[in-house]
Structure 1
Amino acid sequence: MSVFDDNYQNDETGRSAYDPKILLKVVLLGYSRGLTSSREIERACCENVLFMAMSCNQRPDHSTIAPFVSSMKDQIKPLFRDILLVCDQEGLLGGSFFAIDGCKMSSN
């Protein structure tokens, strides 16, 4: 986590910076729910109780989330992979159900 804390700047001017741990939790939760857009994650922080709890009732804007992901993508990606590996080892991922949705339509 120190890699994320190093980028945490809480200057004396302007609004306090978001804690990178909170941003990371929200981003990883979003990824686990299939939300990859910063605007989708922002909306979830305002509408979804789970996201509200994970963000400590903070509502980071997409213009905060996107640069965080951009600047930390080399650290977020392996961390997300490691979390998925641990979940798989603990049997939390399931993997017993696979479905493909399709629709057959006649063509001209």
Structure 2
Amino acid sequence: MANYKPDLSCQNKFIPINFAEQILPGTFEYALCYIVENKLDLSGFDAWYNNDKTGAAAYPPSVMLKIILLGYAHGLISSRRELTRHPP
């Protein structure tokens, strides 16, 4: 059984912003969250995780998929900063 970290995007303890209220209906971000949460079958990821008894909890695939797809939609294809080259 997969052991995932809790999704705390709707918590208001440390950050006084509820992210669910910040995503407006009709936006790409809203559609992305809706599709990932309600339309995609992510149960295939559970077979990859065998950390219910040992190991640290993993981030939920739905959260990671939303981050990756949103990054790609905004043109971010690498997590590394692009270095500018100076001519010699």
Per the normalisation by structure 2, the TM-score is 0.35
Higher relative contact order, structure no. (Cα contacts within 8 Å, ≥ 6 residues apart): 2
